[in-house]
Structure 1
Amino acid sequence: MKMLDYLYENDLVRFEKGVGDWREAIRIGCQNMIDKKFITETYVDEIIECVDTHGAYIVLLPGVAMPHSTDKSTGVLGTGIGFTKFDSDIEFEKDNPEKSATLFFTLAAKDANEHSNNISRLSSMLMEEGVVEDLLAMETMDDFLAVREKYKNIIEED
């Protein structure tokens, strides 16, 4: 699966334990993107500000979050997607499991077109039957590699 290949080949996969709250989870989830020079701390702050302002819009479905800000962000240096799997649910709204996530796909894009392409590629992968469940069940990089192998023949739209 192209998205899983991209994440692995660009060292944009991480597994994390013991996170305090959603703000900390966003910061941790963005770290690979900072390390790889896709974003700056400014972008991380903008994502947190957007969630504070607009609510848990980044939770696409139970278990899956897509941290991102606007395409006008000054903190974006390049277009990319990073992935973090947390060992427990990150709660965005108290007592609302529909707004909790353990899978974080952090998006950054230099313009609106690239932002739309990122969302389209990610959505295509997540809609594939069984992918979300398999990603949620992962605990290690070996598990990630097994999921990557399982879906390697699934073709995503570009």
Structure 2
Amino acid sequence: MLSDMIKKEFIQLELEVTDWEEAIRQSAAPLLNLGKITDEYVEKIIETTRTVGPYIVVTKHVALPHAPTQYGALDLAMGITTLKTPVISGNKTNDPVKYLFCMSAKDSETHLESMAELVNLLSDKEFYQVLDSAKEPQEILTYIYEKE
């Protein structure tokens, strides 16, 4: 399923951002620009993070920006963003954040299935090496295809 969600156009490498909010906006930009999510979806992620705290930080150095479907998840998609300089999210256990996986799913079943696949990938130390060394988005996609 991840290979259905992640397209080369959704992968951004070594982005420079100033803070966690810009990191969220930048990680969501390809999905927004290609009609997979709405502006409201991005704003809901940021609003919820401000209100609830860094709920999107799921493990060491990894954030999964997402919001409930009704706020503008238009199609199944996942972006991958790596940051040149990690940012502080406020999650003391898992900061700083270096990798963002912005996700959009149109229903909760798809959301849970894609999360399970992502968890498997995030437990693979080699995947982080690929994220850190990739010069082109296709290198990451190839790794994901091989793992499926």
Cα distance between partner residues in 1 of 2:63 and 2:54: 9
In 2 relative to 1, CA 33–129 (structure 1 residues): closer, same or farther, beyond 3 Å?
same
Q: Are 2:5 and 2:77, in contact at CA under 8 Å, matched by a contact in 1?
A: no
Question: Which residues in structure 2 correspond to 1:27-46 (within 5 Å)?
Answer: 27-46=25-44
1:67 to 51, 54, 65: 65
Cα distance, 1:60 vs. partner? 1.4
Task: Report runs of 4+ in structure 1 exceeding 4 Å deviation.
Answer: 147-152
- Which is higher, the Rg of structure 1 or of structure 2? 1
In 2 relative to 1, CA 129–15 (structure 1 residues): closer, same or farther, beyond 3 Å?
closer
Cα distance between partner residues in 1 of 2:5 and 2:53: 29
Cα distance between partner residues in 2 of 1:22 and 1:66: 12
| Number of residue pairs matched by the alignment | 148
Cα distance between partner residues in 2 of 1:71 and 1:98: 26
1:138 to 133, 137, 145: 133
TM-score by length of 1: 0.80
In 2 relative to 1, CA 48–39 (structure 1 residues): closer, same or farther, beyond 3 Å?
same
Q: Name 2:102's counterpart in structure 1.
A: 106
Q: Name 1:7's counterpart in structure 2.
A: 6
Percent sequence identity is 25
Gaps (5+ residues) in structure 1? none
> Which residue identity lines up with residue 138 of structure 1 in the other structure?
S
1:79 and 2:72 equivalent? no
What's the RMSD between the two structures over aligned residues?
2.3
TM-score by length of 2: 0.85
Gaps (5+ residues) in structure 2? none
2:121 to 115, 120, 125: 125
> Which residue identity lines up with residue 27 of structure 1 in the other structure?
R
